Structure 1
């Protein structure tokens, strides 16, 4: 079996921002292939603890090889971090999106450059595959998903082509879908495959990525202790917008207009900034070029758990 490798993005920057208490408890909310987890464990002392989440069964196999008593893996979506003890965590790291092994292995159905089954599920043991959904979904729903989650201006034309093709036979392979989309897209940015946005949209929708992200961000505020850090690495504008707006909404001072001279309402986060990969990292790993790391710190302010 081929070993699919993953180069961890913004590794030193994320761990530097996250780990402030060597004896603390930390969460790697998106374990992947364990790059961030291993670096976090190197920073922790004997009393430190790391809990990792991932719903990909292949991540579970990698976690089984960690061999560190301070490490605990949970085969679950990062939305499950809300089940941790309130205010018990000193840092939460989220590395969003799809990992290189998932993209590079055609059998996972994420790749548009190598043929494989049209699956796209992070956890292939649960839920509906992309192929199944494309058979059952209305043309209008397909267009909406591709437009909203892929920011694809030719969404209607692509949905129309998919609906026409499935009248003949269902779409079952990634190469077939990529070719079909390429024929429906009139123009594309230089260097980008015509089906890139469509594949992104289907992957996000099939896995409920944006809803899960919003839920995990909300949960993080409940489990972070005062002074704990929230560090999030995003790779495209949709998820980064959610992270940016969440952090901004929970860090801006709010003045009660009914009592304008009163002290501003305390909020649960304090922004610590953002970081992008340097030229050397992008040159070594082109997939890092769109990454943004945003970091915030939990304050002493109470949080009611309202929607993000």
Structure 2
């Protein structure tokens, strides 16, 4: 395998892990249960972020924090292992010679299970979030000689000669990012309007709200959040920012409660859900990245290799479904009575449509309630180039 990005130990974020300020009024109306101080759930992640991390994750610096065994429950972990294991153990039962790309490494929950179960496996962990890479390095320190970390979007890794045996995508914002109030991903905490997965990226949610015109904001809310009150929300954003620029998530949530009609707020969850999703997607270019990453990952798989993708919103799942449909379609010209040799589909599906989490999983891990899992296996040595190139 020849990665197209430099593999290295993850950079360290020494910034504070939680903003610590009281919520302004009238924000308390919308955040009655918000945490002003750090909860027990946040302590491990905060400690791991602020503790020193050596350049060699296998030998942590003195005083470096150790992540708890399970800081967050990985979604559909057993099912991911079941689907990917046959591709990773084709050469050896312990995974020797196999390469797995965890394209959304996060806190390393899925990666840890694979590395622990397969002592010969090599894993490449991708994440644009340097804090996530630092935390994952602490968690995966016992396996450091078998892990490469790459800080990149998941469409920034693949090269023409990249060849791997398995790929895992766990899309969307991670639980770790939602729990970090200062990152601005959550409508449940007052924080700066940031929403960047890569803290070095230039665009923030505040810049979109304060500088984009009404039509651009409306388009973002409609396209990325499927928000039916997009035009009304965008108009009010433009009016309010003329008096005072938006700075915090509480200000945006207050606006949404004022603008969205009361009957509409009674169904469909928190009224900020769609707007926050839309802004986060726009800030991070998530859909464009996914459109590029899926065909690249499919092309990088060796014969018999497998890919698993977990999506949590309809826009993401629609992209995955389209690429997977193209990958599993016959290449025999329409109208012929039989499959032509060499024209069989590139991939075969391992799931019947999209799989959902069961009741037990959802009860244990509420984040899994919206997951849609799809998986494929490569059955030809030909290179798949995606829908546009097919």
Coarse TM-score class (shorter-chain normalised): over 0.9
- What does residue 15 of structure 1 align with? 81
- What does residue 127 of structure 2 align with? 54
Q: Is the 8 A contact 1:7 1:100 kept in 2?
A: no
Q: Is the 8 A contact 1:19 1:43 kept in 2?
A: no
1:189 Cα offset (Å): 5.0
- How far apart are the structure 1 equivalents of 2:187 and 2:210? 19
- How far apart are the structure 2 equivalents of 1:102 and 1:267? 38
- What does residue 240 of structure 1 align with? 317
- How far apart are the structure 2 equivalents of 1:191 and 1:95? 24
Q: Does 1:224 align with 2:301?
A: yes
Write out aligned runs for 1:1-308 (5 A): 2-4=43-45, 5-20=71-86, 21=89, 22-23=95-96, 24-46=98-120, 48-65=121-138, 66-67=140-141, 68=143, 69-83=145-159, 85-86=161-162, 88-186=163-261, 187-188=264-265, 190=267, 192-257=269-334, 260-261=336-337, 263-264=339-340, 265-273=343-351, 274-303=354-383, 305-307=385-387
CA-atom RMSD, angstroms?
Answer: 1.7
Q: Which runs of 5+ in 1 are unaligned?
A: none
- Return the TM-score normalized by structure 2: 0.75
Equivalent residue of 1:82, what SS? Answer: coil
1:53 Cα offset (Å): 0.2
- How far apart are the structure 2 equivalents of 1:160 and 1:296? 44
- Return the TM-score normalized by structure 1: 0.94
How many residue pairs match? The answer is 305
Runs (4 or more) in structure 1 with deviation over 4 Å come to none
Larger gyration radius, structure 1 or structure 2: 2
Task: Check 1:12–1:219 CA distance in 2 against 1; reply closer, same or farther (3 A cut).
Answer: same
Equivalent residue of 2:134, what SS? Answer: helix
Equivalent residue of 1:303, what SS? Answer: coil
Q: Is the 8 A contact 1:221 1:268 kept in 2?
A: no
Q: Is the 8 A contact 2:323 2:387 kept in 1?
A: no
Q: Which runs of 5+ in 2 are unaligned?
A: 1-16, 18-42, 46-70, 90-94
